Structure 1
Amino acid sequence: MHLDAAQLTELGLAVIRTEAAAIEALAGRVDDAFVAACRHLHACRGRIVVLGMGKSGHIGSKIAATLASTGSPAFFVHPGEASHGDLGMITETDVVLALSNSGETEEILTILPIIRRLGVPLIAMTGNPRSALAREASVHIDVSVEREACPLGLAPTSSTTATLVMGDALAIALLEARGFTAEDFARSHPGGRLGRRLLLHVADIMHRGDAVPAVSADTPLGAALLEITRKSLGMTAIVDADRKVIGVFTDGDLRRTLNQGHDIQNVRIEQVMTRNCQTIRPETLAAEAVKLMEDHRITALPVTDAEDRLIGALNMQDLLRAGVV
């Protein structure tokens, strides 16, 4: 059967509308049961063990990952594998979160007696409040949907979306309850861009020692240009006898100097440098260095200590290489 563009568009929109309606209906289910589930999860001294078969298993794996990355240690256990040894992963300090749209998933029901014997709280998320799993649970959260987005009413679509959203609601409620911060998130994602932005400091990437371009105020401009070229940062700091920064000279300053007709061989760097320049501290987040450069339209910064003495330098290329930009 051939479908034209209008038909394909309408089919896509119909799915989005159906799933959006399913999500909207969840608002009325954030009730006492939701609160009770949050309290069990927040009080968990061990891990949150998420169970689910088939598509519910895929959703469960994602919920477990979201919980773990937002301050609630969690992992996913396949119910079919659980009855063949993986139940040993569940301890008396854990909380079990079981997902099943029907609430009658055989693999989950099979291991319920073991979960009961452990005495751990069982939170169920199902689409059937009268199901066996819902009845056995310490807390049941209703994630039922009026209909699936699948026109055949067979493929889990709206139901899996609703379950995922309710799982996100639990995870974020717990995040807030634990006082979880952006820095905490970054520590569990050190390899990601957010982790680099929140954990990387200027001191971690700045140039140090002989790699830092610096000249004195009476240095001839020609010699200062050689220093800029040798250090390859597009700038040099100008320092006094105590290594305190009194100015900078950049590629932009050079263009302005040439436009003004200065003699490179005879002019001193203090005559053409930029005074009251921007500097940055080593303990500053690298992301703040990016913002400072962008706000002032500069590409390099001297790094100074609390007494304004030069201790390092960095430019935008360093930040790009570090993955901060």
Structure 2
Amino acid sequence: MIISFTLALKNDIKMKLHDLKLRELGLEVVQVEMLAIAALKAQINDNFVAACKLMFRCAGRVVVTGMGKSGHIAGKIAATLASTGTPAFFVHPGEASHGDLGMITRQDVVLALSNSGETEEIIKILPIIKRLGVPLIALTGNPASTLAVFATMHINVKVEHEACPLGLAPTSSTTAALVMGDALAVALLEARGFTRDDFALSHPGGRLGKRLLLIVSDIMHVGHDIPSVPESALISDALMEMTEKKLGMTAIVNANNQISGIFTDGDLRRMLRKNLDIHSTIITEVMTSPCTVISSEILAAEAMQIMEQKKINALVVVNRLGQPIGALNMHDLIRAGIV
């Protein structure tokens, strides 16, 4: 028993030391890559500006290419460019010399990534790029490399050290290339006057697209499904309306069908403390007035923000005359994928 306990204690100490070492190594990687990114500030220079102008004036598309890990980064940069207003796509350099070079037109710009600047698959296609007269922007870590010298414009993304302790696995170098790609994409986004609406049109799917595109009129309840009672209604009438329409509230309207107030589940709980007779008390005595209302033209995401700020779960949608034309609650926003 004593021996077993001693072994367990030793193993526990080793594990703690191992945990500390793992944490230490993780912090070292972050530190090395932070320094690599910080060094990029010096490369946001005239070459960077010239590269942005080449892509901005491109009548075709930006063709991004890279091999191995640089290829993965190139694919991400192409996707970021495309989603922020700069038409772009990725071409694998290994496939390019087997037919995919036909995807590049004379109106395009090529953006090539290679840390060494000597990637064989990219070097092989340089003569074809030259023959097409296509501008070439190179991101390399070696300004004296074949690719850098050949390029129309070169951006230096050299790093002092890879985060890999062996100095072999692309780590800091790929991070630096990715950050420079983001810098190019965002600079172009601003130059093009790319807006939230533009971004939404290229991201119609998923929660992001819904938050940017979906408006209140797309999800609100309309017509007979709007809970509403007149000012003369009793509390019992309002409760029946709330039960039938299942939105946790009802609007109270005047003779001109304009909203006077709202009665919610919260109002009901507060009313119960007063021991009021629901069959004889008029709803106007317990409704919330004035109440928060919204327009049908605002984004559904804005309606959600209003609910969160006001700490309410439902909203009445009104027209310019203050008349209810719709209603929605937090569950509608959840079903729509906004929350």
RMSD: 1.4
1:115 aligns to what?
Answer: 129
Indicate the percent of aligned positions where both proteins have the same amino acid.
65
Between the aligned partners of 2:139 and 2:207, the Cα distance in structure 1 is 33
Q: How far apart, CA to CA, are the structure 1 residues paired with 2:65 and 2:203?
A: 24
- After TM superposition, the score normalised by the length of structure 2 is 0.93
**Equivalent of 1:125 in 139, 143, 146:** 139
CA drift of 1:4 comes to 1.4
Matched, 1:280 2:298: no
AA aligned opposite 1:43: R
How far apart are the structure 1 equivalents of 2:235 and 2:267?
A: 11
Distance 2:187 2:42 in 1: 16
Supply the distance in 2 between the matched residues of 1:71 and 1:216 (Cα, whole angstroms).
51
In structure 2, C-alpha distance between the alignment counterparts of 1:218 and 1:181, rounded to whole Å: 48
Cα deviation for residue 182 of structure 1 reads 2.2
Aligned residues between the structures: 325
Question: SS of 1:44's equivalent?
Answer: coil
Which residue of the partner structure matches residue 9 of structure 2? Answer: none
Aligned to 2:118: 104
Q: Does 1:231 align with 2:257?
A: no
**Runs of 4+, deviation exceeding 6 Å:** none
Give structure 2 stretches of 5+ with no counterpart: 1-13
Name the CA distance, whole Å, in 2 between partners of 1:95 and 1:197. Answer: 33
Gaps of 5+ in 1: none
* Aligned residue among 23, 40, 59 for 2:54: 40
Is the partner of 2:294 in helix, strand or coil? coil
Query: How far apart are residue 55 of structure 1 and its match?
Result: 0.7
Q: Distance in 2 between matches of 1:65 and 1:312?
A: 39
The TM-score, its normalising length taken from structure 1, stands at 0.97
Please show how residues 57-206 of structure 1 align to structure 2 within 5 Å. 57-206=71-220
Counterpart for residue 216 of structure 1: 230
Q: CA deviation at 1:183?
A: 2.4
Letter aligned with residue 301 of structure 2: A
With 177-186 and 62-71 compared, the bigger mean Cα shift is at 177-186
Q: Give the 3-state SS of the residue equivalent to 2:293 in structure 1.
A: coil
Counterpart residue identity of residue 147, structure 1: H
Shift in Å, 1:277? 1.1
**Aligned counterparts of 1:153 and 1:260: Cα–Cα separation in 2:** 75
The residue aligned with 1:319 is: 333
Amino acid of the structure 1 residue aligned with 2:257: R
Question: Match for residue 290 of structure 1?
Answer: 304
Offset from partner CA, 1:70-117 (integer Å, 9 cap, x none): 111110000010111111111111100011111111111111111111
